[in-house]
Amino acid sequence: MSHEPVPDFSIIIPAYNEAELLPATLERMNAVVAEITTHRGEIVVADNDSTDSTGEIARRHGARVIEEPIRQIARSRNAGGKHSRGRYLIFVDADTLISTELLRQSLAALDGGDCVGGGTLIDTRGDRTHRGWAVAVSVSVWNLLSICCNWACGAYVFCRRDAWEAVGGFDETYYASEEIHFSNALKRWGKANGCKFRVLRVRITTSMRKFHWYSPLRILGMCLRLLLQPSRMKSRESCGLWYERPES
């Protein structure tokens, strides 16, 4: 029988072929978790059918690895949630760096008893590429939507486990925008149970690598098609921006 203490929170990282960026993410995550002395945490990597050394890297950095063979972001997040043990769940993308202050504020919000979950804003001021203008505009628009609509960005979502279970986790019928549907589901559950959904103001740093891979025009075109025909978000082929990667 294992006598390993049960963690208070679980950080869940969905990962498909993340050998390049995952080490930095996990190094930061381990440092952040170590600085939190009020709660015990665990890190779970949901290896989403990777063909590189993602799983090996995760284990080498002390993470528990869960295998999810069907490639879908919502499914990968849910697999990590199902096999995690914390009463709080924190979903962080594999190309995203968080701060101790963000984790501390997330845990404090959940500890308060009146918060069902939430997200935070994005900071990409460190992006110095020739497409930095497109990143800046896109992030500004998203942050405004996040605040006005009370939506969590997919790169960082936190919630109570009982709420995650009650709403059925992330909706696996969607290949994109699942974090928006999850935010809305949590808000409905929270309203019925006297809890609020909160978007914090401690920003994360995420790679915005899609702007390095594809032209702003292609990204805009795909996003517009999805906005005009939301049913396309239930098709993997229509959501290539999230599932395709350049060869090099």
Residue-level pLDDT at 216: 86
Spans of all domains in the chain = 9-243
d(C-alpha 239, C-alpha 92), whole Å: 20
Say which amino acid occupies 247: E
Residue-level pLDDT at 124: 66
How crowded is residue 180: how many other Cβ atoms within 10 Å of its Cβ?
A: 19
In CATH, which of 3.30.1340.10, 3.40.50.150, 3.80.30.20, 3.90.550.10 is domain 9-243?
3.90.550.10
Residue-level pLDDT at 81: 98
Q: What is the mean pLDDT of each run of 10 residues along the chain (248 residues)?
A: 82 97 97 98 97 97 97 97 98 97 98 98 66 83 96 97 98 97 98 98 92 87 91 93 80
Residue-level pLDDT at 5: 87
pTM of the model: 0.94
